[in-house]
Structure 1
Amino acid sequence: MTPAASDDEDTGIRCLLDELLVERGMTLTELSRIVGVSLVNLSVLKNDRARAIRYSTLRAICEALDCEVGDLLVLAPR
């Protein structure tokens, strides 16, 4: 059995939220208002510090940014 990831362990998943926001001409504050997720929580996601994300949040972000999950979250090279 694999041990649980610690808070400082690299998950190997990268969030491209910053890039998508720039491409869409949108701020994190605007996205927060649209999807109903706090600015702090979106910042945690954007800075690759999130350990989990609800499917409903993921869907709301993708709908607001008109993107697919794979456009937002990618596997980082190890």
Structure 2
Amino acid sequence: MPLMTIANDAATGTAIGAEAWKSVLTAMTSQISVTTVVGVLASVVGAAIALVFMWWGVRKLARTLMAAFRSGKLRF
């Protein structure tokens, strides 16, 4: 019994079994290793930390400038 049928047109289709997916899954899993997963996670965490600090810095700068305009004095 085929797992999936891909229709070339409305009347015909080609059955795809487990053997057809085996080569695709083997190729995909051979590219993934612990090193690549750790590298991707480290990049994502590093980018997230950078974005959080940038967001905090922009908010701090905006608050400092607005307070300086309101009071006429620049304080940090």
Shorter chain as denominator, the TM-score bin is: under 0.3
Greater CA radius of gyration, 1 or 2?
A: 2
Q: Which has the higher contact order (CA 8 A, sep 6+)?
A: 1
- Higher relative helix content: 2
